[in-house]
Amino acid sequence: MATKPKVLLLGKIEHAHESWKSLSNLADLVSSQAQGRAEFLEECKAGRWDGVKAIYRTFDSMEITGRFDSELVPLLPGSVEFVCHNGAGYDQVDVNACSDRKIKVSHTPGTVNDCTADVNMFLILGALRGFNPGMLSIREGNWRGHPLPPLGHDPEGKTLGIVGMGGIGRNLKKKCDAFSMKIIYHNRKRLSEELAGGAAYVSFEELLRTSDVISLNLPLNKDTRHKISTREFEMMKKGVVIVNTARGAIIDEAALVKALDSDQVASVGLDVYEDEPKIHPGLMSNPRVILVPHMGTWTAETQCAMEECNISNVRSAVQDGVLLNLVPEQVDLEK
Ligand SMILES: O=CC(=O)O
């Protein structure tokens, strides 16, 4: 009888237990007991994962392996053909290092759109309306605080600039339509009229110069790291509001703190940080900054859907040799 391929689990299955178990009809399910990156690399070098065809990894498995980078990927056994990442953002995986080894990478787009855009909406409303100072003072027994917090602003009629018009950006656009905001966007590629849904395409610079609220909805990679820094803050309207549910390192946090301190930026809503779980002290101490601890996808429904999606990718990889949600960088490699 032919031996079954192996599937390596890095991290935990928290919800989709039945689906995960059902994979055992196709593959031997194995998991690492490594307590950290050094131990995991040793396991790889010792041939512990030989025969593994697909890897299911979670965001939190960073604690076990660290980043899937150009040091780790070459140490994976030659049998590994697929890395299935449970998350829409896959900056924890060096896709080029995987492509060099002909390893295909998948992620879980789509499943996260609604819930991430919901947090985005919460941050836009919270930051524009300036709720945070009052929410802090009420818990200190101070009602709205003394002096009173400055008046907030209505979303209606404000220009929202969405940087990155993928699934989350487009979902956010629809939500903001309900608040009568004027939506402009910038994206690597201009979208069809149908996908843009009435949002106007503008250059990055025009978006920075004309938006009242800027929402970052683009992936983190070498081209987008610190895409928003001192120069970009200087181009923005004075008193701009910024929200980020994408990845912290898209913003240069030290430059953001300066822009807040000079009132160039009026308020900020953040779900993600440059060096999670550390938060820049200048953000932590500023009541005009709403801080959410990376909870964009933190709902029962979405966590479950993400796991199911990732398991479907593993199943399809093992059964049919194809990933359902191949990362965009590798789509051309397929041709
Ligand atoms: O941050 C969450 C995700 O990338 O899915």
Tell me if 87 CB under 6 Å of ligand 1: yes
Residue 27 within a domain: yes
pLDDT at 334: 66
Among this protein's residues, is 294 annotated catalytic? Answer: yes
Q: Please give the residue range of the domain that contains residue 194.
A: 113-291
Residue 272 and residue 157 share a domain: yes
Confidence class for position 332, pLDDT limits 50, 70, 90: confident
Count: domains in the chain: 2
Residue 308 within a domain: yes
Tell me if 297 CB under 6 Å of ligand 1: yes
Residue 224 within a domain: yes
Q: What is the mean pLDDT of residues 251-271?
A: 98
Task: Dump pLDDT digits (tens) for 127-146.
Answer: 999 999 999 999 999 999 99
Average pLDDT along the chain:
97
- Closest atom of ligand 1 to 87 CA is 5
ipTM confidence: 0.93
- Rounded percentage of the chain residues whose pLDDT exceeds 90: 97
Kindly report the CATH number assigned to the domain that includes residue 232.
Answer: 3.40.50.720
Residue 143 and residue 246 share a domain: yes
Residue of the CA atom closest to atom 4 of ligand 1? 89
Residue 329 and residue 248 share a domain: no
Residue 82 and residue 49 share a domain: yes
Residue of the CA atom closest to atom 2 of ligand 1? 87
Among this protein's residues, is 43 annotated catalytic? Answer: no
Residue 180 within a domain: yes
Tell me if 248 CB under 6 Å of ligand 1: no
Place of tokens 């953000």: 283
Residue 92 and residue 24 share a domain: yes
